[in-house]
């Protein structure tokens, strides 16, 4: 199944300050905003994200369609939930194509995304960034909670003051609304997000040193998200030839966890490549690798 833009074709490419210079210089995206620009301007109909879920679910997103989902979600965050730079969003979600949309949308508005794998620690009072310095910890505080279990999330955050806004997120690709009972004042993401605009214009940009996401005891700043990583070993001649012939098509698995999947996906996307993400119920067979043209992972 190929996922199409939520409400038809995305409107024409918008111009943002410095975009022309960035495009003509063919620079690697250095910020989430530049990455979203790349999704809709650099070979926008090519696959950027392919999801294999349980029960033979397969969903594929071109760059244009992925950016469309992120833009609608970012507009939903701003217009419905008053998100802005510094807002803390608890992603109480499993790794999934929807959760990747949510984390990209959180970064589009300059928020701090907080994710926790099962069994991960809660962090200390101060957490360290990937390279230098320290960033403020947001442990124990959330302004918005996106969750697949709204009843449990309401219990967990019920004593917080102020109480965070609770958003129920249904995971199946064809589920247009939350099918179960919602707690009082909880919102239905799938039922509401389609009404929001296809294009997102950020009112403010986050401080580069602000926390973009926190995972367990690790916090990543905005200026670290898309920073190029130094290779630990030089590529072989065959690897260099392959990389010159085709963009990276990277196989990632939910069982690897947020800390592995998110940086790998960002790196692949920044290089113009794409990601195939497998649910824990899906085995990475050679047949799958061949049919999806996997060349890494």
Q: Taking all residues of the chain, what is their mean pLDDT, rounded to a whole number?
A: 82
Q: Are residues 223 and 243 in the same domain?
A: no
Structure tokens at 88: 């803390």
pLDDT band with cut points at 50, 70 and 90 for residue 119 = very low
- Indicate whether 25 belongs to any domain: yes
Average pLDDT over every residue of 82-88 = 96
Top pLDDT among 122 and 159 is at 159
Q: What is the pLDDT of residues 225-258, one digit of tens each?
A: 998 864 433 444 444 444 456 789 999 999 999 9
Domain termination site, one of 227, 250, 274: 227
Model confidence at 101, in pLDDT bands (50, 70, 90)?
Answer: very high
Q: Is 110 domain-assigned?
A: yes
Q: The domain spanning residue 291 has which CATH number?
A: 3.40.50
Q: What are the tens digits of pLDDT across the range 134-185?
A: 334 444 689 999 999 999 998 888 777 788 999 999 998 888 899 988 998 8
CATH number, domain of 73, equals 3.40.50.12780
- Say if CB 108 and CB 36 are below 8 A apart: yes
Angle (CA) 183 113 105, round 5°: 85
Tokens of 42: 């650099």
Task: Give yes or no: residues 214 and 148 share one domain.
Answer: yes
Residue 52 falls inside a structural domain: no
Domain stop point among 192, 227, 262: 227
Q: What percent of the chain has pLDDT above 90?
A: 65
Domain assignment present for 5: no
Residue 78: what pLDDT? 97
* Residue 141 resides in a domain: yes
Least confident of 96-100, 159-163, 175-179, 186-190: 159-163
The residue range of the domain holding 272 is 235-297
pLDDT at 5: 53
How far apart, in whole angstroms, are the C-alpha atoms of residue 34 and residue 257? 25
pLDDT for the residue numbered 140 = 65
Closest among 155, 144, 46 to 91, alpha carbons compared = 144
Establish if 50 belongs to a structural domain: no
Task: Give me the mean pLDDT over the 74-90 stretch.
Answer: 97
Q: What is the 3-state composition of the chain as percent helix, strand, coil, each rounded to the nearest 5?
A: 35, 20, 50
Looking at 227, 257, 287, which one is the last position of a domain?
227
CB contact at 8 A, 37 and 21: no
Q: Are residues 27 and 150 in the same domain?
A: yes
Q: Is there a domain that residue 288 lies in?
A: yes
Say how far apart CA 47 and CA 44 lie, in whole Å. 8
When pLDDT is averaged across residues 118-122 and rounded to a whole number, the result is 34
Q: Do 157 and 297 belong to one domain?
A: no
The model's pLDDT over 2-37, given as tens digits with 9 standing for 90+, comes to 555 554 333 333 444 444 443 434 578 999 999 999
Say if residue 257 is in the same domain as residue 167. no
Contact 49, 277 (CB under 8 A): yes
Task: Round to whole Å and give the CA distance between 48 and 28.
Answer: 16
Task: Find out whether 250 and 274 touch, Cβ atoms under 8 Å.
Answer: yes
- Model confidence, pTM: 0.82
Residue pair 192/207 in contact by the 8 Å Cβ criterion: no
**Averaged pLDDT for residues 178-201:** 93
For residue range 32-52, what is the model confidence (pLDDT) as tens digits? 999 999 999 999 999 999 999
Same domain flag for 182 and 198? yes
Same structural domain, 213 and 280: no
- What confidence score (pLDDT) does residue 176 get? 87
Q: Residue 169's pLDDT is what?
A: 97
| Judgement on whether residues 75 and 97 belong to the same structural domain of the protein | yes
Residue 162 sits in the same domain as residue 288: no
Do 148 and 33 have their domain in common? Answer: yes
Instruction: Look at 16-20, 128-132, 185-189 and tell me which has the smallest mean pLDDT.
Output: 128-132
Q: Is 268 found in the same domain as 137? A: no
Return the pLDDT at 117: 64
If one counts the domains in the chain, the total is 2
pLDDT at 158: 75
The reply to whether 43 falls in a domain is no
Average pLDDT over residues 272-287: 97
The answer on 290 and 198 residing in a single domain is no
């Amino acid at each position: 199944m190929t996922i199409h833009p939520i409400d038809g074709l995305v409107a024409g490419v918008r111009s943002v300050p410095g975009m022309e210079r960035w495009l003509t210089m063919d620079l690697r995206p250095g910020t989430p905003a530049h990455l979203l620009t790349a999704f809709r301007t650099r070979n926008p109909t090519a696959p950027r994200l392919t999801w294999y879920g349980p029960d033979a679910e397969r969903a594929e997103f071109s760059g244009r369609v992925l950016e469309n989902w992120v833009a609608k979600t970012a507009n939903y965050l701003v217009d419905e939930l008053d998100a802005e730079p510094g807002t803390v969003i608890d992603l109480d979600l499993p790794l999934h194509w929807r959760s990747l949309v949510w984390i990209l949308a959180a970064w589009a508005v300059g928020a701090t995304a907080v994710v926790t794998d099962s069994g991960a620690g809660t962090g200390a009072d101060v957490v360290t960034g990937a390279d230098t310095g320290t960033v403020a910890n947001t442990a124990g505080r959330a302004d918005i909670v996106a969750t697949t279990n709204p009843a449990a999330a309401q219990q967990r955050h019920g004593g917080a003051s102020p109480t965070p806004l609770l958003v129920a997120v249904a995971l199946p690709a064809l589920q247009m609304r939350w099918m179960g009972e919602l707690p009082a004042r909880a919102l239905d993401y799938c039922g509401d997000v389609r009404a929001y605009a296809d294009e997102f214009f950020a009112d403010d940009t986050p401080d580069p040193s602000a926390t973009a996401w926190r995972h367990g005891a690790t916090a990543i700043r905005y200026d670290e998200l898309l920073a190029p990583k130094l290779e630990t070993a030089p590529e072989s001649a065959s690897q260099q030839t392959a990389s010159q012939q085709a963009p990276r098509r990277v196989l990632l698995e939910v069982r690897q966890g947020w800390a592995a999947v998110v940086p790998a996906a960002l790196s692949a996307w920044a290089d113009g490549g794409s990601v195939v993400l497998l649910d824990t119920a899906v085995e990475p067979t050679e047949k799958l690798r061949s049919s999806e043209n996997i060349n890494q992972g």
